[in-house]
Amino acid sequence: MAAPKTGIRVVIVGAGFGGLTAAIECHRKGHDVSIYENFPELKTLGDIISFGKNAGRIFTRWGKDKEIAKKLRSMCIDLSKYGFRIHKYDTGEVVYHQPPPPRDDDAPVFNGHRGELHEVVFNYAREELGIPIHLGQAVEEYFEDENQAGIVLKSGEKVYADIVIGADGVRSKARELVLGYVDKPKSSGYAVWRAWFSNVDMIKDPRTKEFCENGDTFNGWIGPDVHFLFSTIKGGKDCCWVLTHKDEHDIDESWSFPGKVEDVFKVLEGWDPVCKAIVEKTPSLVDWKLVYRDPLPTWVSKHARILLLGDAAHPFLPTSAQGATQAMEDGVTIAVCLKKAGKANVQDAVRAHQEIRYDRVRAVQKTGESTRDNWHKTDWEKVAKDPKSIAFPREDWIHEFDAEKHAEEVFETVLAKVTGQDNNSTTEASSLLDADKATPTAVAV
């Protein structure tokens, strides 16, 4: 049954997972929503992307009888039998075989091809829900006053709304208006080579065919300031690997380039020969520079009519495996806040959204650094005594979180704080996080 209309006009810039989630959730809550996207057409680009249980919980609420989650499940890696095998970089020894999390159909975990999963969500928003998605519409400018906000398209057309959500990624133009200055990226000191390819050559090689003949697999090799993750998916038909390594190249606003297999070989000198055997079969790869950004002091514009969401507000390190999921949590939260505040109180809703989300996002961001450092500075004597110490962390405070339920529960308390009606500086929302988890940190994309 359709939700009652709220009369709140929402314009979203960007049709990535964060923007699409915000649109779908705003539609579910009865808001009048539309999306403007720079790309002229949908393309199934990219490689592996991960969604934790906290995203799966959102997907299961879309469509009839968990329709969208079921579609995604059929396209994603199934590690129920294989798990995650973590190797020592030089010997190739499996130092820990991490079992997969128990299957939960109400909060599934998804790992699959970014472009293929995106297409499912995009089509659900546009075709099934009828959300207007305007492709090929470059946004030149954002504007706002006390009563409304809007965007100026390249054509000169102005689009007005009660709230504009800037889900326009790491190069966000909305961020410039919110901050009042251009936030330039800096080198983080790391980069990632990424690749996705068919198993055709892998299955011919006795050294690598085991990864493609036994269903889906997931293996990681951990070394000094380097980690190499390799997956096979779709029953072993497709292969995907990512390798994070030190990289001091200075970059500006473009940080994704064609990569060279020869450069990867240099980093893998002295490693388990299986790693090189995998890489040498890669037809092409991307060299993705991880750029450093200071956490933003705010995601909300001066008049609280423009809100940053997802990577525009808080880019994540890949080792968090939570970037897209946290963008989805953002989309869920702002939709709830707008619904509960109502059209006359949109600005309060936007401020409450930030209050609800800010500390949690900062805490989850920090896990990307801690996981990377744990792997890149591994104490192998410790691992020998406690193999679980090298496992990829799956913390309940992240994965068992229900963004919609949480926003519903804490909204009134948070609203009282942001409107100055509550003198208690500790809100119900912030009390859910330990102080050390909310420590400010720098992040990368």
d(CA 163, CA 306): 6
CA dist., res. 335 & res. 33, Å (int)? 10
pLDDT tens track for 25-74: 999 999 999 999 999 888 777 788 999 999 999 999 999 999 999 999 99
pLDDT at residue 230 greater than cutoff 60? yes
Q: What is the pLDDT of residue 252?
A: 58
Q: What is the mean pLDDT of the chain?
A: 91
pLDDT at 442 over 70: no
The predicted pLDDT at position 434 comes to 41
pLDDT value of position 427: 39
* Listed residue (141, 415, 164) closest to 304, CA to CA: 164
Tell me the HSE value of 388 on the side-chain side, using a 13 A CA sphere. 3
Q: Give pLDDT, residue 369.
A: 85
Average pLDDT over residues 277-290: 93
Cα distance between residue 313 and residue 321, in whole Å: 17
Q: Which backbone phi and psi does 424 adopt, to 5 degrees?
A: -80, 120
For residue 197, count CB atoms less than 10 angstroms from its CB and return exposed for 0-12, middle for 13-18, buried for 19 or more.
Answer: middle
pLDDT in tens, 293-328: 778 999 999 999 999 999 999 988 888 899 999 999
For the cut 70, the answer to whether the pLDDT of residue 437 exceeds it is: no
Residue among 57, 73, 126, 194 flagged as catalytic: 194
CA distance 228 to 197: 16
Q: What is the pTM of this model?
A: 0.92
CA distance 434 to 417: 20
Q: C-alpha 60: how far from its chain's center? A: 18
Q: What is the pLDDT of residue 138?
A: 95
Query: Would residue 57 show up in a list of annotated catalytic residues for this protein?
Result: no
Give me 272's structure tokens: 């388990």
Residue 433 has pLDDT above 60, yes or no: no
Tell how far CA 206 is from the center of its chain: 36
One-letter amino acid for residue 244 of the chain: T
- Number of C-alpha atoms within 13 angstroms, CB side, residue 13? 33
φ/ψ of 324, rounded to 5, equals -70, -35
pLDDT over threshold 80, residue 415: yes
| Most confidently modeled range among 77-81, 162-166, 169-173, 437-441 | 162-166
205 vs 366: CA distance, rounded Å:
40
pLDDT at 254: 47
Per-residue pLDDT of 126-160, as tens digits, reads 999 999 999 999 999 999 999 999 999 999 999 99
